[in-house]
């Protein structure tokens, strides 16, 4: 997606060979116009998939998921990383390790919002090692629902998550795939969608 790639080049900050900071438009401050375009792109790619829900993880997956859900006319469910008083019992849960934050969280979705007849699109902001996506796929599987695919805003193609998931037959649609962050320069790979 050219608009996203242009935004990454213009406003993204390479912090190391493995870390790209995009907090000016995705992870802290949100660019609503860009999120609308991202939502439209995911909606276009999955418009014929019979989706009933979008599932994401808090918090950076919520904006692109909401835009896609708005366009598709379906609800968005986000997995919570922290338990709250209102989210107890009756949960699907999975453990997810964040390499960026070096912590493991138990993510949870209420059984009230994910059913066996749901057809789900998973959306997340980044795909690196694939831990968040694996956790969300686990939750969808626990519910007996069907995962139609995974929409990723930015994939770190130089890390193994996308490759491992594709090898398992998971459909991955990444809007920007970064092949390298070496020497402070963002390089993009050819987009790889599907299985």
Query: Would the annotation count 184 as a binding residue?
Result: no
**Is 27 known as a binding-site position?**
yes
Binding residue per annotation — 49? no
pLDDT at 117 over 60: yes
Whole-model pTM: value is 0.93
Mean pLDDT of 166-187: 97
The annotation status of 156 as a binding-site residue, yes or no, is yes
pLDDT at residue 141 above 80? Answer: yes
* 18, two tokens: 């493995």
**How wide is the angle at C-alpha 132 spanned by C-alphas 159 and 194, nearest 5°?**
65
pLDDT tens profile 11-68: 999 999 999 999 999 989 999 999 999 999 999 999 999 999 999 999 899 999 999 9
Query: What are the helix (H) ranges across the chain?
Result: 2-11, 32-46, 62-72, 131-143, 161-167
Measured CA to CA, the distance from residue 69 to residue 177 in angstroms comes to 23
Q: For 82-115, give the secondary structure using H, E and C.
A: CCCCCCCCCEEEEEEEECCCCEEEEEEEECCCCC
Sign of CA dihedral 120, 126, 128, 131: negative
Mean pLDDT for all residues in the chain? 93
Is the pLDDT assigned to residue 99 strictly greater than 90? no
- Structure tokens that stand for 34 in this block: 């860009």
189 marked among binding-site residues: no
């Amino acid at each position: 997606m050219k608009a996203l790639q242009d935004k990454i080049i213009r406003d993204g900050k390479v912090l190391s060979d493995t870390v790209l900071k995009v907090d000016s438009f995705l992870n802290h401050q949100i660019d609503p116009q860009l999120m609308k375009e991202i939502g439209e792109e995911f909606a276009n790619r999955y418009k014929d998939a019979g989706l009933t829900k979008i599932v994401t993880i808090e918090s950076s997956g919520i904006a692109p998921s909401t835009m896609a859900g708005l366009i598709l006319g379906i609800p968005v469910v986000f997995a919570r990383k922290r338990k709250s008083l209102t989210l107890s019992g009756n949960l699907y849960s999975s453990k997810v390790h964040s390499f960026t934050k070096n912590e493991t969280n138990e993510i949870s979705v209420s059984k009230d919002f994910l059913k066996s007849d749901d057809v789900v699109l998973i959306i997340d902001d980044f795909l690196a090692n694939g831990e968040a996506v694996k956790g969300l796929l686990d939750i969808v599987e626990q519910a007996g629902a069907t995962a139609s695919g995974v929409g990723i805003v930015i994939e770190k193609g130089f890390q193994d998550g996308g490759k491992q998931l594709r090898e398992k037959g998971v459909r991955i649609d990444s809007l920007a795939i970064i092949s390298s962050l070496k020497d402070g320069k963002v390089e993009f790979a050819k987009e790889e969608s599907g299985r």
